Amino acid sequence: MSDVSLMVNGKRVNGTAEDRTLLVHFLRENLGLTGTHVGCDTSQCGTCVVHVDGKAVKSCTMLAVQASGSTIVTIEGLANGADLHPVQAAFKEHHGLQCGFCTPGMIMTATDMINRHPEGLDEATVRAELEGNICRCTGYHNIVKAILAASKTMSKASKGKARQAA
């Protein structure tokens, strides 16, 4: 067993894990953060995506002990109290989900994608960057629509903030 110390959704978490424990299992089983799903355990489906130090990572590809010292955000940490994150709100508005199993991973991937493209996104880029996230229900159209809409909302908000600061 090894010590694992993480910041998770703004809170310090200290625990122990077997050296073979994957980050996704530590989050779900030790911390009860079951919004992060396990679809394959073999790094193909993307349902397990969380942010590690600000970047989208498939948490089935990382050991909990490897993540020690990192700052993690899971789907549970994205909303601001009762206010949904713009990406969550866009998925809701544009019907970007059906069964919802892929949704936490899709939203964490989309948030990172939008953050990396502050200039905005086009459909081809969104589709290419979603390569690592599998959805068995929606046919992706509404997911892509939701991400494009969230990208517009977030880029307007950041331009507004920049104007205020100028």
Q: At what angle do helices 86-93 and 103-116 cross, to 10 degrees?
A: 120
The answer to whether 149 and 90 have CB atoms below 8 angstroms apart is yes
Shortest Å, Cβ 143 to ligand FES: 8
**Residue 95 lies near ligand FES (rule: CB under 6 A):** no
The answer to whether 51 and 72 have CB atoms below 8 angstroms apart is yes
3 state DSSP class of 94: coil
Structure tokens at 11: 């809170």
DSSP 28: I
Interacting residue with ligand FES among 13, 40, 84, 89 (CB under 6 A): 40
Exposed (0-12), middle (13-18) or buried (19+): which is 108, by Cβ within 10 Å? buried
Interacting residue with ligand FES among 1, 79, 128, 137 (CB under 6 A): 137
The answer to whether 108 and 27 have CB atoms below 8 angstroms apart is no
**Residue 62 lies near ligand FES (rule: CB under 6 A):** no
Interacting residue with ligand FES among 2, 5, 44, 158 (CB under 6 A): 44
By rule CB under 6 A, what count of residues binds ligand FES?
A: 23
- How far is it between the farthest Cα atoms of the chain? 51
Segment contacting ligand FES (CB under 6 A): 11-19, 94-102, 111-119, 122-130? 94-102
Shortest Å, Cβ 37 to ligand FES: 7
Interacting residue with ligand FES among 5, 18, 79, 99 (CB under 6 A): 99
**Residue 43 lies near ligand FES (rule: CB under 6 A):** yes
C-alpha gyration radius of the chain: 16
**Residue 97 lies near ligand FES (rule: CB under 6 A):** yes
- d(CA 36, CA 28) in angstroms, rounded, equals 7
**Residue 16 lies near ligand FES (rule: CB under 6 A):** no
**Residue 102 lies near ligand FES (rule: CB under 6 A):** yes
Task: Summarize as ranges the residues that interact with ligand FES (CB under 6 A).
Answer: 38-41, 43-48, 58, 60, 97-103, 135-138
